[in-house]
Amino acid sequence: IQAKTSLEPQPATLEIDAPVVVFGDIHGQLRDLLRFLTIVGPPPQNKILFLGDYVDRCKKSLEVIMLLLCYRIKFPQLIHLLRGNHECSKMNRLYGFYEEMRRKRTVYMWKKFQEVFNEMPLCAVISSRLLCMHGGISPEIANWDSLVILQKPKTPRACDEGLAVDLMWSDPSSDPCTGFQFNTTRATSYIFGGDTILKLCELLDIALVVRAHEVVKGGHQFLFDKKLVTIFSAPNYCGTDGNAASVMKVSRRLELSFVTLKPRLDTTRLTEERRALLEKMMNDANAKSPDPCKLKFLYCLYSPQRIQPNQYSSRCSAI
């Protein structure tokens, strides 16, 4: 009840000021969430924006969502929880959360969690320059008003319609793509190309689109001339993917840095062929991943012409 009450007043589109730490998918990987929080600093040390997909797939979904909701209740100005596609009942009924709740608590409690998920915002704007969501952009974003008047979807049907479904489900295309095309891989929403991202950044006067929703081998990945970044925060996803994981730190000056965790592989449960494949994937990820205690990459979101004299440095460099 407290969690729902804490989320209810929030609009579907949040406005957040930097500095802030941004998390991608967690999917019930409690241990890795705690590792990240230990490194970057939990609230009240930091303001944190989570991009959704807290539950399903892995074994500690209940513990993950309970921890985050407790943080939200205690630090409502510092913890912001966006809704991912797995915070919709049709998904978490099938991919693990329902069975976990039935085993650990009750079906009634699973239903109460759906009421909490219904109150989660769908996107966030950081310092008017970074547009964040779980999935991706939508052809229904005509201007800022499209996001300002957006309503939270409160029914399974509403989760599958309009702008809401795209913010939770759409993907950047891995192949050359112009405009928006039907997302055949997910059988819903769209895939989109770099031209759509560039147009949206110009339309809304933003510097970057920040999203999660997809495993990326190195934990984070820039696309489309660094106008879009994907963040994934569950290392060695489901114990089998061999991927690294990242969280993104946004400074007050809107500089970006990444903390990346290398995957830990449990080779005792794998076939020799699968173990060799995952070790190769892990080595590839490690080659691209920084030491988790170092901020590997900084990228200045302000173009020189936007910077006020003597206010910000126009150059950013690696630490």
Tens of pLDDT, residue by residue over 281-313, are: 555 544 443 333 333 344 444 432 232 222 222
pLDDT tens, position by position, 133-148: 999 999 999 999 999 9
- Compute the average pLDDT of residues 104-130: 98
Residue 209 lies in a domain: yes
Percent of the chain exceeding pLDDT 70 equals 83
Active-site residues: which are they? Answer: 86
| Number of domains comprising the chain | 1
Tell whether the model's pLDDT for residue 316 goes beyond 50. Answer: no
Q: How far apart are CA 161 and CA 185, in angstroms?
A: 18
Q: Which residues contact 205 (CB under 8 A, 6 or more apart)?
A: 128
Q: Which domain holds residue 140?
A: 1-300
Greater pLDDT, 29 or 177 = 29
What DSSP string describes the chain? -HHHHHHTTS-SEEEEPSSEEEE-B-TT-HHHHHHHHHHH--TTSS-EEE-S--SSSSTTHHHHHHHHHHHHHH-TTTEEEPPPGGGSHHHHTTSSHHHHHHHHS-HHHHHHHHHHHTTS-SEEEETTTEEEESS---TT--SHHHHHS-----SHHHHTSHHHHHHHH-EE-SS---SEEE-TTTTSSEEE-HHHHHHHHHHHT-SEEEE-SS--TTSEEEETTTTEEEEB--TTGGGTS---EEEEEE-TT-EEEEEEE-----GGGS-HHHHHHHHHHHHHHHHH---TTS----EE-S-GGGSPTTTS-S-----
> Does residue 31 lie within any of the structural domains?
yes
| pLDDT for 266 | 63
Residue 310, in any domain of the structure? no
The structure tokens listed for 55 are: 């539950």
pLDDT score of 74: 97
> Quick one: pLDDT at residue 177?
84
Confidence (pLDDT) at 271: 72
Residue at 230 is within a domain: yes
Selection from 118, 4, 168 nearest residue 72 by Cα: 4
Task: Say which range, 69-78, 113-122, 125-134, 285-294, has the weakest mean pLDDT.
Answer: 285-294
pLDDT at 285: 45
Let me know if residue 314 belongs to a domain.
no
Q: Are 245 and 260 a contacting pair, CB within 8 Å?
A: yes
Give a yes or no: residue 305 inside a domain.
Answer: no
The total of other beta-carbon atoms located within 10 Å of residue 264's CB is 13
Determine, yes or no, domain membership for 121: yes
pLDDT of residue 240: 82
- Binning pLDDT at 50, 70 and 90, where does residue 116 land? very high
CATH number at residue 89: 3.60.21.10
Condensed to tens digits (0 to 9), the pLDDT of residues 212-248 reads 999 999 999 999 999 999 999 999 998 888 999 999 9
**Domain assignment of residue 313, yes or no:** no
Kindly indicate the confidence band of residue 277, based on its pLDDT and cuts at 50, 70 and 90. Answer: low
- Give residue 73's pLDDT: 98
Residues 42-64, mean pLDDT to the nearest whole number:
97
Per the structure block, which two tokens stand in for 200?
């949206």
pLDDT at position 283: 57
Note the pLDDT of residue 55.
98
